[in-house]
Copies of this chain bind each other. A is one copy, B any other.
Amino acid sequence: MARDPILLTPGPTPVPPEIREVMSRPIPHHRTPEFQAVLKEVAAGLKRVFRTEQDVLILTSSGTGAMEAAVVNLLSPGETAFVIQGGKFGERWAEICRGYGIRVVPFNSPWGRPLDLNRASEEAAKDPSIRAVFSTLCETSTGVAYDIRGLRQAIGPKPLLVVDAISGLGVDPFEMDGWGVDAAVSGSQKGLMLPPGLAFIALSPRGWEAAERSGSPRYYFDLRLAREAWKEADTPFTPGISLIVGLAESLKRIQAGGLDQVLELNRRNAEAVRQAVKGLGLELYTDPSCASNGVTSVKVPAGIDGKELLKRLRKEEGIVLAGGQGKELAGKVFRIATMGAIGPEEIRAGLAALEKVLVQMGWKAPALK
């Protein structure tokens, strides 16, 4: 390929050249007024993207690190978590909880389908020991955007509501304060257009009370340490400095047109992908009524080797799509991302290459029969 590969993957997403440029400058020391000014700037920008008045703390880790931070700071061993499991990342909440001795009441939501709020409400009501409800905003493995506002109404005001917005933040609508979310986590390599390596977490006032009381062991992800340092525009441990410098640029870019505009562009791009994919005669995996703005799951058509399809797209066309995750979806779906800096041009190139390679592989679109 003469050009660089085009990533249409739900993390990492392409990093715009101007963000790569600021990150390639000589590294500042983190304990200087210059860097503290950057931290204060990103602190304000992150609040706008999370739509919260609370501090959004930066952790140097993958998004999963912030998920662990949410679990260990909110719950103590033996407490009960109600976990919405409709894909790989919902299941991850359960794995982390179990790893820390927290009792899990799983709520299995059919993959690729909207959350059944009535059933969730009924199931959650059966167990008064439930202290926190865990969900994903955008379940990256399926492309479902869960109705977090509805989930809060369904479970009532009592349990803590914890949301994995790793691939949903800045992509699908999300209102941390407005929807009554007690802990929201995200990561750098999705809507924020950065390389992976930073994670973010914000807690509600109730979340902070839980963090003060939690009996779970923790150190690196102890948010009490992070909050203390944050007051002084600092972090308890040396942070991912270059990524934070890039984050300032990324947040400026989002702020320029406004978050609503970003969400609307993503929505339109995802809708365009869904229409185009259907136009090719392919079948969507995910119910369109709950489709995320950020990632579209498409069924691998019968007779086509899904792994070979992605390999050819990557090697021959320089288009990187994501495969299916977990034993349920590996080889059965592929995923096209429409988040972060992915725009119409990348999408058109990706869809044209997809059609070309499918036809080369002997596939006949139903519409062309």
| Residues of A in contact with B (beta carbons under 8 Å apart) | 4-5, 7, 9, 11-12, 14-15, 20-21, 23-30, 32, 60-65, 68, 77, 95-96, 99-101, 187, 189, 195-198, 216-222, 236-243, 314, 320
Nearest Cβ distance between residue A91 and chain B, in whole angstroms? Answer: 13
Interface contact A15-B27, CB-CB below 8 Å = yes
Complex Cα distance, B101 from A216, in Å, reads 10
Contacting residues, chain B, for A28 (C-beta < 8 A): 5
**Option from B27, B32, B61, B243 in Cβ contact (under 8 Å) with A65:** B61
Contact between B14 and A27, CB atoms less than 8 A apart: yes
Once A68-B220, A217-B100, A220-B68 are accepted as A-B contacts, the answer to whether A238 and B189 lie under 8 Å apart by CB is yes
Closest to A6 in B: B26
8 contacts between A and B (CB under 8 A): A11-B238, A60-B61, A60-B197, A99-B218, A99-B219, A196-B239, A197-B197, A216-B217
Give complex CA distance A65, B64 in Å.
Answer: 13
B residues in contact with A12, CB < 8 Å: 27, 29-30, 238, 241
Closest to A19 in B: B24
- Knowing A196-B238, A241-B196, A242-B197, say if A64 contacts B27 (CB, 8 Å): no
Q: Which of A4, A64, A189, A237 has most chain B Cβ within 10 Å?
A: A237
CB-nearest residue of chain B relative to A69?
Answer: B220
Q: Quote the shortest CB–CB distance from A203 to chain B (angstroms).
A: 18
Within 8 Å CB of A23, what residues of B?
23-24, 242
Cα distance A11–B62 in the bound complex, in angstroms: 21
A329 CB, nearest partner CB in chain B, Å: 14
* Partner pick for A24 among B21, B64, B320, CB 8 A cutoff: B21
- CB contacts (< 8 Å) of A220 on chain B: these are 61-62, 64-65, 68, 96, 221
Q: How distant is the Cα of A187 from the Cα of B241 in the complex, in angstroms?
A: 13
Instruction: Tell whether, in the assembled complex, residue B29 and residue A196 are in contact, meaning their CB atoms are under 8 Å apart.
Output: no
Name the residue of chain B whose CB is nearest to the CB of A21: B24
Contact A26 B15 (CB under 8 A): yes
How far is A243 from B218 in the complex, measured between Cα atoms in Å? Answer: 26
Of all A-B residue pairs in the complex, the 6 with the closest CB atoms, nearest first, are A24-B24, A197-B240, A195-B242, A62-B237, A99-B219, A4-B26
Distance in Å: Cβ of A14 to nearest Cβ of chain B: 7
Query: In whole angstroms, how far apart are the Cα atoms of A189 and B77 in the complex?
Result: 35
Q: Is the pair A240, B195 in contact by a Cβ cutoff of 8 Å?
A: yes
Asked whether, in the complex, the Cβ of B195 is within 8 Å of the Cβ of A27, the reply is yes
In the assembled complex, the CB of A163 is this many whole angstroms from the nearest CB of chain B, namely 18
How far, in whole Å, are A26 and B1 apart by their CA atoms in the complex? 14
Distance between A225 CB and nearest chain B CB, rounded to angstroms? 10
B27 touches A243 (CB 8 A): no
- In the complex, the answer to whether A99 meets B61 with C-beta atoms within 8 Å is no
Contact status A99-B29, CB under 8 Å: no
Q: How far is the CA of A62 from the CA of B196 in the complex (A)?
A: 14
Contacts of A65 in B (CB 8 A): 60-61, 65, 220, 237
Q: Are B15 and A20 in contact (CB under 8 A)?
A: no
Contact A62 B64 (CB under 8 A): no
Give every chain B residue within 8 A of A242 (Cβ-Cβ).
15, 23, 195, 197
Residue contact A100 to B29, C-beta cutoff 8 Å: no
A224→B355 CA distance, assembly (Å): 41
Q: Give 8 new A-B contacts, CB below 8 A, not counting A60-B61, A195-B242, A195-B243.
A: A9-B29, A27-B195, A60-B65, A61-B220, A77-B217, A196-B238, A216-B217, A240-B240
